[in-house]
Amino acid sequence: MVPKIRYGSRTHGLLAYLYGPGKRDEHTDPHLVGSWDGFAPDPGRDPEATLSRLAAALDLRVKQAGAKAPAEHVWHCSVRTAPGDRHLSDDEWGTVARRLVQAVGLAPEGDPDGCRWVAVRHADDHIHILATMVRGDLRRPRLNYDKKKAQAECRLIEKEMGLRQLKPGDGTAAKMPTSAEKFKAERIGHSQTPREALREAVRRAVAGAADEAEFFTWLREAGLRVKMRHAPSGDILGYTVALPGDRDRNREPVWFAGSTLAPDLSLPKIRQRLSTPPADSTEEAKPSPSGRWSPAAERRRHTADVADHAARSLDTDGDEAAAQLVGVGELLDSLAQTSPAATRQELRAAAQAFERATRSHIRAERADNRALRAAARGIIHAGTALGRGEDGGATAMLLSTLVLVTLAAARWHSARHHAQQAEAARQTAEHLRAAYHQAAAAPLQTLRAQGRALPPDQRRRYEASISTALPDRVATAAKDANRDALAATLSQVEQAGHDPEALLQQAIAMRELETAESVNDVLVWRLRRLANLPAHPQPDTGRTPTRARTTATARANVQPTPAAPTAADPRTRPPRR
Residues contacting residue 168 through CB under 8 Å, at least 6 positions apart? 151, 152, 155, 419, 420
In the chain, where the domains are located: 2-161, 179-274, 295-556
Q: pLDDT by residue for the chain (577 residues), tens digit each?
A: 889 999 999 999 999 999 999 877 789 999 999 999 999 999 999 999 999 999 999 999 999 999 999 999 999 999 999 888 999 999 999 999 999 999 999 999 989 999 999 999 999 999 999 999 999 999 999 998 899 899 999 999 999 999 988 877 777 888 888 878 888 888 888 888 999 999 999 999 998 788 899 999 999 999 999 999 999 998 999 999 999 989 988 899 999 999 999 989 999 999 988 886 555 544 444 444 445 688 999 999 999 999 999 888 888 777 778 888 999 999 999 999 999 888 999 999 999 999 999 988 887 655 678 889 899 999 999 999 988 889 999 999 999 999 999 999 999 999 988 989 999 999 999 999 999 999 999 999 999 999 999 999 998 999 888 888 887 655 554 554 568 999 999 999 999 999 999 999 999 988 888 888 888 899 999 999 999 999 988 876 444 444 333 333 333 343 443 444 433 443 344 444 4
pTM here is 0.77
Consecutive H or E run containing 423: helix 419-452
253: DSSP letter: B
**Helices 519-530/419-452 angle, 10° precision:** 80
Side by side, the strands of the sheet bearing 31-35 are 2-8, 74-80, 126-132, 117-121, 31-35
CATH topology of domain 2-161: BirA Bifunctional Protein; domain 2 (3.30.930)
Residue 422 CA, chain-centre distance (Å), reads 10
CA 430 vs CA 154, 173, 192: distances in Å: 28, 21, 22
Residue pair 133/115 in contact by the 8 Å Cβ criterion: yes
Beta bridge partners of 35: 118
Distance of CA 459 to the CA centre of its chain: 42
Strand, coil or helix: what is 51? Answer: helix
Q: Give the integer Cα–Cα distance in Å for 99 and 154.
A: 9
Q: What CA–CA distance (Å, rounded) separates 548 from 262?
A: 59
- Nearest alpha-carbon partner for 403 in 376, 384, 422, 425: 425
Q: Check: CB of residue 352 under 8 Å from CB of residue 173.
A: no
